[in-house]
Amino acid sequence: PYFVLIEGAGSPAEVNLRAHDIANMGFAEAADVPVILVGDIDRGGVIAQVAGTHLLLSETEKARTKGYLINKFRGDLSLFDDGIRIIDKTSGLKSFGVLPYFADAHRLPPEDAFSLTARAPREGKIRFAVPVFSRIANFDDLDPLLAEPDVSVQMVRAGEAIPAGVNVILLPGSKATLADMDFIREQGWDIDIKAHVRQGGTLIGLCAGYQMLGRELSDPGGIEGSARTVEGLGLLDLTTVLTDDKKLVEETGTEHLTGAPVRGYHMHVGRTEGPALKKPFLDLPSGPDGAISKGGRVMGGYLHGLFASDEFRNNFINRFKLRKERLENFEGLVEETLDKLADHMEKHLDLDAMLEVARGAI
């Protein structure tokens, strides 16, 4: 049988927020599923994490909590034998094992936006800058770039200027395009972006970032709040009107200029029109997608996951002609790392017992 693994967010011991909890024990209770606590020893105080969490749970929550495991242990595992005994004695919970720190974890895509912005930029020959919108979305578009050995990706946070001299500015997706267009102006990033393009830099926008490249963004139906229109960056002759019909579909196609194969997914609302569409960025079965400027320095489209297409990514990066190394197969790297992690877990955790817990919920 197949199982669905549900990951909580935050802590199940935040009892002051329990009445409105939909991400931890509240969800587990509603779905009537068993629970395994995971303690992060890398942050310290893991005995208190597990035993203290169990202490604060209600009786029904304790009944569905079947055990715990310890994650990210560094050093000699036998040094935590006493810790296991203390947790067992104070909570009565079953231990499913202690998982040593997995050194290749950095090869996997970041878990969430916080993980992404917490990463220190790596030194690289080809420099990308990514403004972190207040409502950034689909940041997994960056994962293949973060894995490239010769590429550095700098996340530009609120209050920081987009650095001069980067090769590429990438505008990511957003959950609220008009609000984040306002946010760009509040940060002064619109000035930085236009200066970057004037000085010969490359600019690419993905989904909402693509919509922002145009002259105007309009939300007549108030999909993102009140009905209004805002001015875009004006770097492509396009206008976008938000509509209530959301497009959600996977597609494969080619880059218009090079014919490089691409694969990704659409997940957006809005209809984009204008003269710039006469020179599309991508050719897809559903029709041309996106636009590219006359000089080829400003481009964008709706397809997410674009940089996971190896030939497209390598063609894009190779235009800067500064590479020493390159990643040949991003998806293969992720799969290989996941296989190694699975072997690591099988070696150190009682997965059979955990699967029995899952089977008991069927």
- Residue 334 carries which side chain, given as an amino acid letter? V
Confidence label for 100 from pLDDT (cuts 50, 70 and 90): very high
Write down all domains in the chain, each with its CATH number in brackets. 15-101+337-360 (3.40.50.300), 106-328 (3.40.50.880)
pLDDT at 19: 83
> Using CA atoms, how far apart are residues 183 and 186, in angstroms rounded to an integer?
5
pLDDT at 341: 93
pLDDT at 120: 52
Most confident of 104-113, 204-213, 239-248: 204-213
- Across residues 98-124, what is the average pLDDT? 69
Q: Which long-range contacts (CB under 8 A, 24 or more apart) does 188-197 make?
A: 188/161, 189/131, 189/156, 189/161, 189/162, 190/233, 192/161, 192/162, 192/164, 193/162, 193/169, 193/233, 193/235, 194/233, 194/235, 195/164, 196/162, 196/164, 196/166, 196/169, 197/235, 197/297, 197/298
Most confident of 10-14, 232-236, 249-253, 334-338: 232-236
- State the average pLDDT for the chain: 89
302 and 282 in contact (C-beta within 8 Å)?
A: no
pLDDT at 312: 95
- Residue 133 carries which side chain, given as an amino acid letter? F
pLDDT at 131: 97
CA-derived radius of gyration, the chain: 24
Confidence label for 6 from pLDDT (cuts 50, 70 and 90): confident
- Across residues 142-166, what is the average pLDDT? 92
pLDDT at 91: 92
Helices (H) and strands (E) in the chain, counts: 12, 19
Give me the residue label for tokens 């779905």: 31
230, 233, 203, 214: which is closest to 275 by C-alpha? 214
Q: How many CB atoms lie within 10 A of CB 75?
A: 9
324, 307, 332, 286: which is closest to 146 by C-alpha? 307
pLDDT at 111: 67
Specify the pairing of strand 216-219 against strand 228-231.
antiparallel
Range name among 221-230, 274-283, 290-299, 331-340 with the lowest pLDDT average: 331-340
233 pLDDT more than 60: yes
- Across residues 289-300, what is the average pLDDT? 95
Q: Where are the beta strands (DSSP E) in the chain?
A: 35-40, 65-73, 95-100, 126-131, 136-137, 151-156, 168-171, 173-174, 202-206, 216-219, 228-231, 239-241, 247-255, 261-268, 271-273, 282-284, 287-289, 291-292, 298-301
Confidence label for 324 from pLDDT (cuts 50, 70 and 90): low
pLDDT at 1: 66
183, 201, 206, 226: which is closest to 305 by C-alpha? 206
Classify residue 85 by burial, with Cβ atoms within 10 Å: 0-12, 13-18, 19+: exposed
207, 221, 203, 217: which is closest to 267 by C-alpha? 207
Confidence label for 323 from pLDDT (cuts 50, 70 and 90): very low
Within 8 A by CB and 6+ apart from 57, the residues are 12, 13, 25, 65
Classify residue 253 by burial, with Cβ atoms within 10 Å: 0-12, 13-18, 19+: buried
> Using CA atoms, how far apart are residues 217 and 151, in angstroms rounded to an integer?
32
Give me the residue label for tokens 């606590």: 37
Confidence label for 362 from pLDDT (cuts 50, 70 and 90): very low
Residue 9 structure tokens? 């967010």
Give Cα 44 to chain centroid, integer Å: 26
Confidence label for 322 from pLDDT (cuts 50, 70 and 90): low
- Across residues 331-350, what is the average pLDDT? 90
- Residue 269 carries which side chain, given as an amino acid letter? V
| Greater pLDDT, 314 or 330 | 314
pLDDT at 112: 59
Q: In what order do the strands lie in the sheet with 126-131?
A: 151-156, 126-131, 168-171, 202-206, 298-301, 291-292
The C-alpha angle 334, 339, 340, rounded to 5 degrees, equals: 100
- Residues belonging to the active site: 207, 304
